[in-house]
Structure 1
Amino acid sequence: MISPADFPKPSFVPVNGVELEVFEMGRQNAGKPIVLCHGWPEHAYSWRYQMPALAAAGYHVIAPNQRGYGNSSCPAEVTAYDINHLSGDLIALLDHYGYEDAIFVGHDWGANVVWGLTLLHPDRVKQVINLALPYQARTEKPWIEFIEEFFGSDHYFVHFNRQPGVADAVLDENTSRFLGNMFRRNVPPAPPEPGMMMINLARAEAPLGDPLMSDAELAVFISAFEKTGFMSSINWYRNIDRNWHILADVDPVIQKPALMIYGDRDLIPKSENLTDFVPRADVVSLDCGHWIQQEMPEETNRAILRWLQRQDAA
């Protein structure tokens, strides 16, 4: 593990009209670039267990705070966070380092970006490794409308879109409590409470489960969101339907080799038809919840490195 004090110092890379805060390990131009894409509400530091292991295996590890996070740019416009912009940032990052393609690894929202990147720019993606969020097939109607029909208006995807600014303000007012309540492991199953889940978490005085990280580790996330607030990262959710339109005419099948890593106790369900859309996908399941690479870091590293070794041998 890398303590906050030992985490690599960032560089600031101008890409695609913004500036990204980028953390690196390993040797540049070694021919093995791997880009780690964090989720919500996270930070590049969520990859602290993977970066040393991948660098030791010979990879140039690139972990950006994506736009809207940490010390990266936080554009004011909601539309600045659609999949064209988010994937464009990653393509520009490859251009900055002089790489034609790279292995892309994503967790949670980062996985969603990596799936979209691979659809939009397949020639820049060598292999895909995603954690927690499987490929989401495009629905017949826009995603927010689809989610609202199934889960109701209190589902946080819907709430973020239908009531902009409401949850953002509550999370901003309760940043430390919200993140401390969010980043938990060994969370027992519990019936959903009335109201929006994220607002409930921000106000809960007795969270379930055990802390995922130490106070010093959690402080990295807290200080980052105290600086940015939550609106810029929640704006990713406010582009879900815009992304639905952007991907309308894109071939929905991903032909790249892919590894999908699930947490068996994650609330996000596993895909029942993953190989229909990702025919070269392999699947690994670990006995953990949503924060896979932080809950079971050694097992995650082992799964990733073994799969990459098999790809190199193929």
Structure 2
Amino acid sequence: MTKVINSMLNPTDFPKPTLISINGVELEVFEAGQHNAGKPIVLCHGWPEHAFSWRHQVPALAAAGYHVIVPNQRGYGNSSCPTEVTDYDIEHLTGDLIALLDHYEYEDATFVGHDWGAMVVWGLTLLHPNRVNKVINLALPYQERGEKPWIEFMEEFLGGDYYFVHFNRQPGVADAVLEENTSQFLRNIFRKNVPPAPPEPGMMMINLARSETSLGEPIMSDDELAIFVSAFESTGFTGSINWYRNLDRNWHLLADANPIIQQPALMIYGDRDLIPKSDKLAEFVPNVEVVSLDCGHWIQQEKPEETNQAILKWLEQQRTT
């Protein structure tokens, strides 16, 4: 079942969205290149983002012959925001993507993820390897499933103020602060060329939401930022933060998965990203190629042309090998 809904502010001719009912939720999905049926590529956004974060990649991929499918994942935009925390675990998030493939009658697809979207794509490839033909991930490398659940491990090494831990140990606190300061928070987080500085005391995301000073330079225009602000003013942040609140649950859910990803993979890093590069990536993803760009965390928005070139070049290499 699908129904077209009113388009949002559209400064760069982003596709009009459709609501698709799958897997017990409705997902807001943006499509381009429908005439390229048979070559699906699914783009998965991160936090605190939106399908619109792929605006620079959609036309390039459609022009290159791909059927581009860009969902707002559950908790975001006009997609459903379930109230149960566990409705945002890796089984539900990957289940949405599998149901999306089924909706379009695709056996498999190439999946592209940034930030939390990359976490979901890695998990999808572990849980449903037959439905993923290629992996392209940005910013977040494969996360090894160690001996301790992830939040427990982070709390021990990074402390209770680390935002992953804070989201889990103090539910609702950050949600409320971000919601009270939505525009300021998003304006402060979507920056590039931020001067290096020692970490401040307190919780990073709450500090960003409360800061009246924006460091570095904006990565997008005010009209583009307004799309993110409008989306989060409508939904609040709890649904999207609930992804973090399932990290330890995900650690348990992935216990029986084969940890080695055999699919061809492209990993794109930002050299100035705060997320460290993985020195074990090739152990778990043996068929990986790595590209590093001179940028921070918001790779596909900071360096859109370079990102497109890296992705299209690698996809072409895969096609000819």
Indicate which of 74, 91, 111 corresponds to 2:118: 111
Q: Matched residues, percent identical?
A: 78
Distance 1:45 1:270 in 2: 26
Matched residue, 1:143: 150
Matched residue, 2:5: none
Distance 2:14 2:305 in 1: 18
The answer (yes or no) to whether the contact 2:36–2:67 under 8 Å persists in 1 is yes
The 1:281–1:84 alpha-carbon spacing in structure 2 relative to 1, beyond 3 Å, is same
Matched residue, 1:258: 265
1:7, distance to aligned residue in structure 2 (A): 1.3
1:230, distance to aligned residue in structure 2 (A): 0.2
The answer (yes or no) to whether the contact 1:13–1:22 under 8 Å persists in 2 is yes
Q: One-letter code of the match for 2:82?
A: P
Distance 2:10 2:217 in 1: 20
Report SS of the residue matched to 1:49: coil
Deviation sequence 1:191-215 (CA, Å, 0-9, x none):
1100000000000111210011110
The answer (yes or no) to whether the contact 1:120–1:250 under 8 Å persists in 2 is yes
Distance 2:319 2:177 in 1: 47
Report SS of the residue matched to 2:34: coil
Q: One-letter code of the match for 2:77?
A: G
* 1:188 lines up with 2:195 in the alignment: yes
* 1:124 lines up with 2:126 in the alignment: no
Larger deviation: 284-293 or 7-16?
7-16
Distance 2:318 2:12 in 1: 34
Matches within 5 A, 1:278-289: 278-289=285-296
Report SS of the residue matched to 1:6: coil
Q: One-letter code of the match for 1:175?
A: T
Deviation sequence 1:183-236 (CA, Å, 0-9, x none):
001111111100000000000111210011110000000000000000000000
Distance 1:94 1:3 in 2: 26
Matched residue, 2:6: none
Matched residue, 1:274: 281
Matched residue, 2:61: 54
Distance 1:188 1:69 in 2: 30
Give the ranges of 4+ consecutive aligned residues of structure 1 lying more than 6 Å apart after TM superposition: none
Matches within 5 A, 1:1-314: 3-4=10-11, 6-28=13-35, 30-314=37-321
Report SS of the residue matched to 1:90: helix
* Gapped regions of structure 2 (runs ≥ 5): 1-8
The answer (yes or no) to whether the contact 1:21–1:64 under 8 Å persists in 2 is yes
Deviation sequence 1:248-269 (CA, Å, 0-9, x none):
1111000000000000000000
TM-score normalised according to structure 1 size: 0.98
Distance 1:73 1:100 in 2: 25
Distance 2:108 2:257 in 1: 20
Distance 2:13 2:312 in 1: 23
The 1:260–1:5 alpha-carbon spacing in structure 2 relative to 1, beyond 3 Å, is closer
Report SS of the residue matched to 1:260: strand
1:31, distance to aligned residue in structure 2 (A): 1.4
1:28, distance to aligned residue in structure 2 (A): 4.7
TM-score normalised according to structure 2 size: 0.96
What's the Cα RMSD here?
1.0
The answer (yes or no) to whether the contact 1:4–1:220 under 8 Å persists in 2 is no
1:3, distance to aligned residue in structure 2 (A): 4.9
Q: One-letter code of the match for 1:141?
A: K
Distance 1:167 1:70 in 2: 19
Q: One-letter code of the match for 1:283?
A: V
Report SS of the residue matched to 2:130: helix
Deviation sequence 1:122-160 (CA, Å, 0-9, x none):
000010000000000001011101001111000000000
Q: One-letter code of the match for 2:37?
A: A
Distance 1:22 1:261 in 2: 24
Distance 2:280 2:35 in 1: 37
Q: One-letter code of the match for 1:293?
A: Q
Distance 1:49 1:212 in 2: 12
| Alignment length (residue pairs) | 313
The answer (yes or no) to whether the contact 1:27–1:58 under 8 Å persists in 2 is no
Deviation sequence 1:48-73 (CA, Å, 0-9, x none):
00000000000000000000000000
1:6, distance to aligned residue in structure 2 (A): 1.8
* Gapped regions of structure 1 (runs ≥ 5): none
Report SS of the residue matched to 1:249: coil
